[in-house]
Structure 1
Amino acid sequence: MDLVKAAAEVREHAWAPYSRFKVGAAIRAASGTVYLGCNVENVAYPEGTCAEAGAIAAMVAGGDTVIEEIAVIADSPEPVPCCGGCRQKIAEFADGDVKVTLATTEGKTRTLTVAELLPGVFSAAHMDRA
């Protein structure tokens, strides 16, 4: 399954009546299952959820915990990077070499690794107290 296409399709379901900035995300888990998410805004900012967070929640609810690949799409002049919170969420479930494709609805793409998206990631290793 083409992740950018899947993200574009789910983007149409985004609830973005305030910003009108719809975002879609598609994750391929290590099992091969594809999980989708779209942003869901709330009039009480910042209580909404990002597309990436929604896709991660769907993945975990589906019983998977390892991201193998992710795509995010928005209607923007340039590929939109994930917010800081979503970068950290992605890093929780993906190795540094996992590909993250950022796309626009006009066909522009930019592919990075998780390590490039979030250099200096905070990880569970930082909490070890040996």
Structure 2
Amino acid sequence: MDDLIAAARDVQQRAHVPYSEYRVGAALETADGEIFVGCNLENANFSNSLHAEEVAIAEAVKQGHRDFARIAVSSGRRDGVTPCGMCRQTLTEFCDDDLIVLCDEGDGEAPSEYSLGELLPNTISQETLE
């Protein structure tokens, strides 16, 4: 199993999901190979919930990283979950269109692989706003 998928699976066990019971873990790999993880953190006020991908990228950026190679996303259901639209936009703020996105399909299955540009074409960017 890919180490990045394994890290995403591992961190989802720490998710706080009392409402949806849908655990998600994300593992973000920097260009130099360091891995930062995040899990979803639900809140009774759903708009204040944090998604796993957001938590992972916040950890990496907090540590000074701005160059990323891959992200893996895994749910407890191993259903090939992809980052949601909000997370895709957040990733676009810090990652290029060629960021590799691995989506866990379960034991014995190869993860689905996308580029961030495939998942979110024509993004809102700094250039768009100028």
Mapped partners of 1:20, 1:105: distance in 2: 18
Any gaps of 5 or more consecutive residues in structure 1? none
Shift of 1:30: 1.9
Tell me the CA shift for residue 120 of structure 1.
1.2
Q: Could you say which residue in structure 2 is the equivalent of 1:124? A: 126
C-alpha contact (below 8 Å) 1:65/1:93 kept by paired residues: yes
What CA distance in whole angstroms lies between the structure 1 residues aligned with 2:17 and 2:34?
27
Which residue identity does 1:54 align to in structure 2? V
**1:67-114 Cα distance to aligned partner (Å, 9 max, x none):** 211000013363112111100011111111111001144454211001
The question of whether the paired residues in 1 share the 8 Å contact of 2:10 and 2:25 is answered with yes
**Aligned-pair distance for 1:31?**
3.0
Q: Percent of counterpart pairs with the same letter? A: 37
CA contact (8 A) 2:28 2:70 kept: yes
1:115 counterpart residue number: 117
User: Per-residue displacement from partner, 1:41-75 (whole Å, max 9, x unpaired)?
Assistant: 01111211000000010001111012211000013
One-letter amino acid of the counterpart of residue 66, structure 2: T
Count of matched residue positions in the alignment of Structure 1 and Structure 2: 128
Shift of 1:127: 2.1
The alignment status of 1:75 with 2:82, answered yes or no, reads no
- Could you say what the CA RMSD is over the residues aligned between the two structures, in angstroms? 1.5
Amino acid at match of 2:21: R
Provide the rounded CA distance (Å) in 2 between the counterparts of 1:63 and 1:77: 31
Q: What residue number does 1:10 align with?
A: 11
Q: TM-score, normalised by structure 1?
A: 0.91
Separation in 1, partners of 2:108, 2:61:
29
C-alpha change, 1:21 and 1:106, in structure 2 (3 Å) is farther
Do 1:75 and 1:104's aligned partners in 2 also have CA atoms closer than 8 Å? no
Give 2:127's aligned amino acid.
A
CA-CA distance at 1:35 after TM superposition: 0.4
TM-score scaled to structure 2, two decimals? 0.91
SS of the residue 2:96 aligns to: coil
